[in-house]
Structure formats: structure tokens, C-alpha cells
Amino acid sequence: MQENSVLFRIFALPLRHKLTASMIAIVVACGFFVWGRRVAERYASPALLSFDASTVRHAETGGAQPSAITLAESILGDEQVTVLTSHFDISPAPDESSLKIFRSHLKLDELGPTILRLQYLDPNGMQAVAMTNAIVEVLTAWTPVETTITPQLPVTSPPVKATYPKSVPIRSMHALLRPGDSLMRMQAQLSAIDHQLTAIEVERQKLNATKVNHSIVEKQTNTRQALETQLAAAQKKLEDLRVRYTEEYPDVGAAQEHVLDLQQQLAALPAGHGGDVAPTVNLKLEAITREASQLRLEREHLTRDIAIEKKRAREEHDVDAVQAQSSGGIRSHVPSLTTVPSTVTRASMEPLAQASVSQLTMSPFTLLQQSSYTVSGSGKPGSGLWLGMLLALVGALAYLGLAIRWYKPVHDETMLTEAVSTEVMYMGSVPRMNL
């Protein structure tokens, strides 16, 4: 029967119920579409950073240990944020509102004392990832203000020699070592270089002193030559006077006194001569300066390599800890992350401090995991729309089903007469026309 068909019964429903079902479908589809976009936002994964508070203890806080969030927020000042927001065109004219938008969208969480989770929330997932990674770059590029530790080296402790150990080709050596050994060896090499630099400095001071002495002698020689010239002139004058006058003449006596005075002055001057000392000292000084600059270059390379090696070691430890934490591992692994690298760092830094060099300056933040953009389901951003449309259809049909059940139509005169009072007369029926 036609009237038993579901489609016919849906068609027979009042228009308002059909409209209501349509509205339900539209609302469900739109709601799912919007929700799908928010889900995509969630799938812009956060970035993970490791945080080493010991790096900034001296420089930034005067001994107090800052939290990762506090330090990150202080690094991301208004000027830095303005650059970021301008770059990503968050607001055409960077002003206070764009700063507020940035700060309200930036989410910082501490997963532990050394792990910082960073995420920039944005409806556009790609933009969120790009901004998150840009912020990560800012944090990892930041370094605390460099501080110089007071020299601990006793003035007389290292034996000062004219010769000093030859520098070793450090970079070629530590590249062949294992990661753990490499760090220790590089630190030992760094210590050796520092010793060499110290020895060179002492040698340079000594040569400088020699050079000063030589200049004094040279000055005395000049004085002697002047006196000798004056003496020769005085003796010649005396001989001329003796030809013309007797010994009792006053001028002859005065000339004899002048000659004696000059001879006394010459006798008072120290004997000896500078000879070829000056060129030798200068050559040595030049050689020492060249050697020192070469050692400083080596030291700079070595310092950079040590920093890289330390970062790599910390990353390995922290990634292991994060994986253990995310897989329900025991949380007690996290402290080991914090203690082991810092202990090693301090032990290895000890010779450096004793060698009176400036402390290594490196960012307390190290990247563990970059932010990435992934979409749920099949990986296509629009795939959720089909599911939304399906749910909308199901919702609309469910409503229509309930409406059909509720709006049971009158089929025949029996139903009609039962629905009204018995006093109401049934006047008759009109057959259906096939119009």
C-alpha cells in the first residue's frame, strides 16, 4: 500500500516537520564542519623543549633558578612578539591587540622541571605549526648574558717555561671518538689549550719586560755617545788653550775641570751595549702572538663542539624520558635527566673555571621535538565533512521517524469517527482524485 510506504508517510507530514528536519540536518552538518576544523587545530602538535636552568642561574637571576615558563615569557618580550606577529601577519598593524592575541594563543606547559611544551593555537593548523616553530627558534637561539669568572690561577703555580706544549689537532681527534668519550676528551683538550694560552701569556709578559730593559740600555748608549762627543770637543779645546797659554792660565784650568767632569760622567754610565737583542725579542713576540691567536681559534671551535655534544647528549636523555613518560613509564626517570647532565657539565667545566676563561654561553632551551601538522582520519581536511553530512542525514531521518510515529494520520472513517465525539455526524467521504 502506498500509505504504508515510509517515503509516502514522510511526504504526508506537515511542512513544519519537514522544515524542522531540514534545519536539524543543516545544524548538525555545520556543527560537525566547525568541530572538524577545531579538531584539525588540535592536531597541530606542540613542540617539546628541554630546559637547563643551570645555564641561566648566574647570568640572569643572580643565583635563583628560574622556571622554564617564566624564562620563556621573559624572552618573548613585546619587541620579539611584534616581530613574530608582523612576520606571520597576525595583525596588519602590530599593536597592543596583536600582542594580546599572541599571548592569549600561546600555550606553555611544564611537563617536568626540564621539559617545556609549547604550542601556538590557531584555527589555521599550518599557521599554528609555523608560528610554534618560529617561537621555538627564538627560544633556542637565545643565550644568557656572558659572564667572566674571576681567575683562580695562582700567579706562580704553573712552571713558566720558554717552551710550551704544542697544540694538538683537536677537531680531527674528537671526531673519531665515541660520543661519551668525545665530550670528556674535548674538555681535556680544552683544558690543555687553556694551559698553553696561560703559558704563552707569561712568556709574552717576560719578552715585554726584556724589551723594556733593552730600551733603557739604548737610552744610556745614546747618552754615552753624547758625552763622548762633548769630551772630545773639550779635550780639543784644552789642547788649543795649552798651545797658546800656560798651565796657570784660568781658561786652561777650567777646560781641564770640564774634561774631568765629562770623564767622570762617562765613567758613571754602566758598561755594555744593546747589540742585537731588540730584533730577537720582536721576532719572539710575533711568534707568540701568532701561536696565541691560533690557540684561541682552536679553543673557539672546541667550545662550540662541546656545546653541540652536550646538547646532543641531553636530547638523547630527554627524548628517552619523554617517551618513557608518554608510555606510562615511571616518572622517577625525569630527575635523572636533570641531575646527570648537569653533574657532568659542572665536573667538566671545573678545569675551565680554574683556567680563568669565560663561562660557556649557550641557550637553556634545546629542541626535542618540533611542532608538526597532522590531520585525523584519512589525512584530507575535508574528509570530516562527509561524516558530518552522514550524521546530518541520520539526524534528520531520526526526527522524521519520530514525527511519523507521533503524527499517525487518519486512514479511514472509523479512525475519524473514533477521534471525535459520537454526537458529530460523519457526513461521508470523497474519493481520491488522481489529479
Give the H/E segment covering residue 19: helix 15-42
Of residues 126 and 416, the one with the C-beta less far from other proteins: 416
With contacts defined by CB under 8 A, name the span among 34-42, 43-51, 352-360, 421-429 that binds other proteins: 421-429
Q: What does DSSP say about strands 115-120 and 47-51: parallel, antiparallel, or unpaired?
A: antiparallel
Q: Which amino acid is at 246?
A: T
Spell out, one character per residue from 13 to 32, where the chain touches other proteins: x when CB under 8 A holds, - when not. Answer: -x------------------
Sheet strand arrangement including 106-110: 106-110, 115-120, 47-51, 365-369
Question: In whole angstroms, what is the distance from residue 200 CA to residue 197 CA?
Answer: 5
Q: Among 332, 339, 421, 422, which residue interacts with other proteins (rule: CB under 8 A)?
A: 421
Give the H/E segment covering residue 14: none
CA distances from 356 to 154, 156, 282, 303, 310 (A): 10, 14, 27, 15, 21
* Least distance CB 379 / other proteins (angstroms): 48
Give the H/E segment covering residue 108: strand 106-110
Of residues 175 and 410, the one with the C-beta less far from other proteins: 410
Of residues 179 and 409, the one with the C-beta less far from other proteins: 409
Question: Quick one: DSSP state of residue 420?
Answer: S
Of residues 243 and 433, the one with the C-beta less far from other proteins: 433
Confirm or reject binding of residue 427 to other proteins (CB under 8 A). Answer: yes
Question: In whole angstroms, what is the distance from residue 45 CA to residue 25 CA?
Answer: 32
Question: Quick one: DSSP state of residue 271?
Answer: P
Kindly state the number of chain residues that form the binding site for other proteins, as judged by CB under 8 A: 31
Of residues 3 and 96, the one with the C-beta less far from other proteins: 3
Of residues 249 and 426, the one with the C-beta less far from other proteins: 426
Question: In whole angstroms, what is the distance from residue 150 CA to residue 230 CA?
Answer: 56
Confirm or reject binding of residue 424 to other proteins (CB under 8 A). Answer: yes
Question: In whole angstroms, what is the distance from residue 141 CA to residue 362 CA?
Answer: 8
**Cell output for 425:** 455526524
Confirm or reject binding of residue 378 to other proteins (CB under 8 A). Answer: no
Confirm or reject binding of residue 428 to other proteins (CB under 8 A). Answer: yes
Of residues 286 and 413, the one with the C-beta less far from other proteins: 413
Question: In whole angstroms, what is the distance from residue 46 CA to residue 118 CA?
Answer: 6
Confirm or reject binding of residue 425 to other proteins (CB under 8 A). Answer: yes
* Least distance CB 2 / other proteins (angstroms): 8
Q: Which amino acid is at 345?
A: T
Spell out, one character per residue from 380 to 419, where the chain touches other proteins: x when CB under 8 A holds, - when not. Answer: --------------------------xxxxxxxx-xxx-x
Nearest to 99 by CA among 77, 74, 117, 118: 77
* Least distance CB 1 / other proteins (angstroms): 9
Of residues 5 and 223, the one with the C-beta less far from other proteins: 5
Q: Among 12, 141, 398, 402, which residue interacts with other proteins (rule: CB under 8 A)?
A: 12
* Least distance CB 407 / other proteins (angstroms): 4
Binding site residues, other proteins, CB under 8 A: 3, 8, 12, 14, 406-413, 415-417, 419-421, 423-435
